Amino acid sequence: MSKQFFGTDGVRGTVGNDPMTADFAMRLASAAAQVLVPAGGTVVIGKDTRLSGYMFESALEAGFVAAGADVLLIGPLPTPGIARLTQEFDADLGVVISASHNAYFDNGIKFFDRFGAKLTDEIEEQIEEHLQNPAITLESQLLGKAKRIDTARIRYQDFCAASVSGEDSLEGIKIVFDGANGAGYKVGPRTLGQLGADVIPIGCSPNGKNINHGCGSTEPGLLQLTVPALHADVGVALDGDGDRLVMADESGNLVDGDQLLYILASERHRAGVLKGPVVGTVMSNLGLEHALKEQGIEFLRAKVGDRYVLEKLRETGGSVGGETSGHMLVLDKTTTGDGLICALQVLAIMKESGKPLSELAAGMRKYPQTMVNVRTENRMDPGSSAEIQAAVEAAEQELAETGRVVLRASGTEPVIRVMVEGENNEQVVGIANRLAAIVAAAA
């Protein structure tokens, strides 16, 4: 069956509109409990800083408790922190209330299994089957209980700090940290400070509505200005739920997920500890593939979505992968994409090598790449239009072997993403705009 509610990363939408209502959240909890939580099992629930998180937390708690599950309420903590605590508390299911990089009026619900991994398509389909029925309420003696865990942040903070060696491993590095006014607003600066860094926090004053607004990995302009203005060594920016990472070098130049992946893979290769191929996505810059190939490092592409990067890493025995957007995976350190842990790995490389971030990233030449988002009234498959496909084929012939064209439907919103890359920026922009106009007309 095709999934109705689950997208690339859980269920997501505008709060108050189907499916992001309190009623749906309670039914979703009931359905998930019936599929994944045995009688008397445990569920961990965390969230980011959105105003609607309180409502969804209560609705999910009610649905799980009514289905017989005990609930541990974590409060605001990065998504990867919930994945970690699901394992640490030996829970059957981890739940995160977050719409990641979206604005505050959106929210979402995503799950981790007992091993801290995202659910498979098959499990999500089973949950959707149960969503066709009303939420269940067991007899009183079979109901679950709920309690709040006050030590969650410290547990996750210590886990992150342990991913690099030594309490003073970042001493002498001046870091501007942008928490996107989101889930990492406390744990990020405190972890970096615990490791000896001089930390300047921005985007760390959430009010329920300012998550991802003018800050964070999707709007890093303030970070790029602040780093050179305060003579910092580097900038670190997470997204609202803390699973994406971008950085800024000492001059304020942005270092994206492809460049960070290059740095992580190159250092592990140099140290002889890189396992298997490096995995990116169909959107990863061609320059990353070429730069890794020059070192003899195999590079594979997965579908967009860190869950698909993770699947391919597991299939091939790889340990390092990620997306251009900053979803980074280092499976020798943790089980899922974790912006803070990946930032710590890059910062440790800077410290150990004595090289600034600009020099570490210089070995990868980024090919000019343009992305145009075409909003549609309804979700559509660009591959279903003969007119669009003909235009794509013509563009690919024009680029020959010096570039790529990728059209894909967003998994989280009604948008077609048109990506073109090649050696000539003017040519790339022209082709992208031309394709976007054709997609808009066909939609």
Q: Return the active site residues.
A: 100
Where b means 16+ CB within 10 Å and e means fewer, 91-105 reads bbbbbbbbbbbbebe
Residue 89 neighbours by CB distance under 10 Å: 18
**What are the residues facing 255 on neighbouring strands?**
247
DSSP class of residue 42 equals: E
Dist CA 408 CA 431 (whole Å): 16
Residue ranges of E strands in 241-382:
245-248, 254-255, 278-281, 299-302, 320-322, 328-330, 369-375
Contact, 324 vs 283, CB < 8 A?
Answer: yes
DSSP class of residue 135 equals: P
Residues in CB range of 386: below 8 A, 6 or more apart = none
Residue 274, judged by CB atoms within 10 A of its CB (0-12, 13-18, 19+), counts as buried
Dist CA 9 CA 310 (whole Å): 13
Q: What dihedral do alpha carbons 403, 312, 412, 156 form, nearest 10°?
A: -120
Tokens 């669009």 -> residue: 388
What is the radius of gyration, based on Cα positions, of the chain? Answer: 22
Alpha carbon separation from 289 to 286, 309, 324, 367 (Å, rounded) = 5, 15, 12, 11
Contact, 192 vs 170, CB < 8 A?
Answer: yes
Q: What share of the chain is helix, strand, coil (3-state, %, to 5)?
A: 40, 20, 40
**Helix/strand/coil (H, E, C) string of 303-324?**
CCCHHHHHHHHHHHCCCEEECC
Dist CA 304 CA 50 (whole Å): 25
Helix (H, G, I), strand (E, B) or coil at 202: strand
Q: DSSP letter string over 172-200? A: T-EEEEE-TTTTTTTHHHHHHHHTT-EEE
Q: Is the peptide bond before 206 cis (omega within 30 degrees of 0)?
A: no
DSSP class of residue 141 equals: G
